[in-house]
Structure 1
Amino acid sequence: MAFHVLGLAEETERVYTVLVHLPNATASELAGAGELSVAATARQLSGLVKQGLATRATGRPPRFTAVAPDVAVNALIRRREQQLDDARSQVHRLMEAHREASRISSPDLAVELLTDRADISAAVQYLTTQAQHEIRAFDRPPYVDRPGSGLDEQIKRQRRGVAHRVIYDRAAVAWPGRLADDILPSANAGEQARVRTELPLKLVICDSRVAIIPFSSAPVGQSAAYLVKRSPMLVALESLFEAEWERAVPLPLPGRTPAAQPGLATAAGEPDQETKSLLSLLAAGLTDAAIARAQGWSERTTQRRIHRLMSQLGVETRFQAGLIAARRGWL
């Protein structure tokens, strides 16, 4: 029978199906059509009422009517989906307990290999959810989950005091819609965001306790990840992050005053926020096309603004523009 996956017994489904075709019927009237005794049919009808699949009218004998299938059965489906979600959550908790038990019984096991996309996504979600102090990350394509899908959860973590420092590869900043829909909202909510021309790997470090390195052995998408626990390797990854952080260019935030941007000069003649953003993207090595996508401009508009900026700075190359901007404290 089709509904057994929803927890309905064969007899229950049979009585419900008959009731759909014979509304406002008594148990006696349904018994023959369902090939069950009157007593068995009455028991099934009572169960259908309790499960919200049927209604009972007052009177003697009571009459029953099936609740519309698109309402009643979909409610059972949603209930079962919730049960499955609860089961998945329990699996994730048991998975972490299993990993921890393995670490305790095998203290030399500093690195664990994850080879399933679902496991990678679940591990990243679990680790970031458990973070208490700080999350540091290298962000670069390709991605396991849609970029920005965890924005709401990240903002909640930041509000409860979990710091986020993220270095974005220029390919991440140039990802269509990423800057406006994800990076800037995260930064405006408290994330410290910087940009590098190229990052060596993808990385998430949680509380100096554990790190995950997703990587790809296929042309597209991650197919594996390393889960790195407390060990000299984790210390090395932290050192790598801090070294890249020092080299990365801070991402200016639209609408913030100069005083809210550490390291920017406050002297008269300082460029507007749009120019600062353009300088940061240039310093990060983004192409004209990538800058256009990130800023929502056309390529022609982007080229025109870059040319005007270079003319105002009195330079002939982008490198010189970045150098002069840095000397003036604009980056």
Structure 2
Amino acid sequence: MEFAVLGLGEAEERTYQALVASPHTTAAELAADMGTSTPVTAHLLAVLVAKHLATRNGRPARYLAAPPDVTLARLIQERDQDLSAARAKVNALTELHRNANNVSGPELGMELLTDRAAIGAAARLLTFEARDQVRALDRPPYVDRPGSHLEEQLDRMRQGVAYRVVYSRAATEWPHRLKDDILPAREGGERARVRPELPIKLVIRDDQDALIPFNLGPGGQQLAVLVRRSPVLTALEALFEAEWDRAVAIDQGGAASDARPREEADEITRSLLALLTTGMSDTAIARAQGWSLRTTHRRLRRLMAQLGATTRFQAGLIAGRRGLI
């Protein structure tokens, strides 16, 4: 039942919903409506009164449901406070765990993670704890399904956390990665760029810590190093910024220099333009979009003609000036 998270049992929730629909009713009347016995219904109504979800007045006693938008909102707020306290406890335990598992003492600030669950948990914790920005170098292989963490990222960006991500070209060609993850994240505010190759996979939270996952074989990620504030982290930040400076932007966004209004483009056109900026081949574009090579060639020719461009580079410049990407 939906309200179980608020501390209501299934029978209590059903009784409350029935009482909302039948105000100023007696226990016997409500029991008849619900098809239950009067003693059981009277007990459930007493529970609701004790939880301030209902009031009792008169003789014989008649019951009235408390306004859901007030009462249930209060329960939700209480649960939010409980969850905040639990998160604080998790963070404290995580800090204790990190300190206890430092590779060579607190001054080094490096923790070795040796299984997929721990690596995934560390990555989610880094992004959840970010206050200013998340920086990442993104390259295959991937353990999770593309797009499985998209909503979490969009929520963090709505809260003001900036995302800057450099993708390897192989990442944009990974099945469903571009369509289900990269492009929606970019639409949500992520600043995304592409490099032909990346030396490592990396996630950096603010200027506090970083995660470096390793792929040790065909089974996927089996090892990672969590790096805290240290000279090693400073070096990793410098590596990211160097790769960022050399990368090509997927989204030109507001970088267009003219003041003309942005033109509208359909989804296929936007996808094609985004793929062109990555430098992907026609074959790779066809594979990423699930098109035949013939369809891809036809749509590319049509797009180039619409833009009045003779080269892909020129198409990107014209599209950027028009605000299409």
TM-score normalised to the size of structure 2? 0.61
Q: What is the correspondence of 1:225-304 to structure 2 with a 5 Å cutoff?
A: 225-252=224-251, 260-263=253-256, 277-304=271-298
Distance 1:207 1:287 in 2: 35
Distance 1:144 1:89 in 2: 28
Give how far 1:151 is off: 1.4
Match of 1:76 in 2: none
Give structure 2 stretches of 5+ with no counterpart: 1-35, 40-85
Q: What is the correspondence of 1:118-267 to structure 2 with a 5 Å cutoff?
A: 118-252=117-251, 260-263=253-256
Give how far 1:283 is off: 4.3
Distance 2:176 2:182 in 1: 9
1:45-102: CA deviation from partner (whole Å, max 9, x where unpaired):
xxxxxxxxxx9997xxxxxxxxxxxxxxxxxxxxxxxxxxxx9997785343221356
Distance 1:156 1:174 in 2: 26
Q: What is the correspondence of 1:32-71 to structure 2 with a 5 Å cutoff?
A: none
Match of 1:313 in 2: 309
Distance 1:276 1:90 in 2: 44
When residues 308 and 189 of structure 1 are mapped into structure 2, their CA distance, relative to the original with a 3 A threshold, is closer
Distance 2:125 2:269 in 1: 39
Aligned partners of 2:102 and 2:112 also within 8 Å: no
Give how far 1:105 is off: 9.4
1:105-152: CA deviation from partner (whole Å, max 9, x where unpaired):
923323222111111011111111111110011122112322221111
Aligned partners of 1:264 and 1:329 also within 8 Å: no
Aligned partners of 1:158 and 1:190 also within 8 Å: yes
Distance 2:133 2:259 in 1: 30
1:173-207: CA deviation from partner (whole Å, max 9, x where unpaired):
22232223222222222211222222221110001
Which amino acid in 2 is paired with 1:290?
Answer: A
Question: Tell me, what secondary structure is at the counterpart of 2:199?
Answer: coil
Q: Percent identity?
A: 54
Aligned partners of 1:170 and 1:196 also within 8 Å: yes
When residues 126 and 93 of structure 1 are mapped into structure 2, their CA distance, relative to the original with a 3 A threshold, is farther
1:285-316: CA deviation from partner (whole Å, max 9, x where unpaired):
3232321243453321222344566675345x
Match of 2:56 in 1: none
Distance 1:91 1:276 in 2: 42
When residues 264 and 278 of structure 1 are mapped into structure 2, their CA distance, relative to the original with a 3 A threshold, is farther
Structure number, greater radius of gyration: 1
Give how far 1:237 is off: 1.2
Q: What is the correspondence of 1:1-20 to structure 2 with a 5 Å cutoff?
A: none
Give how far 1:209 is off: 0.6
Distance 1:266 1:197 in 2: 32
Give structure 1 stretches of 5+ with no counterpart: 1-54, 59-86, 254-259, 316-320
Question: Tell me, what secondary structure is at the counterpart of 1:252?
Answer: coil
CA-based RMSD: 3.8
Distance 2:111 2:229 in 1: 12
Q: What is the correspondence of 1:71-82 to structure 2 with a 5 Å cutoff?
A: none
Which amino acid in 1 is paired with 2:95?
Answer: E
Distance 1:272 1:57 in 2: 63
Which amino acid in 2 is paired with 1:241?
Answer: F
Give how far 1:212 is off: 0.3
Distance 2:246 2:208 in 1: 24
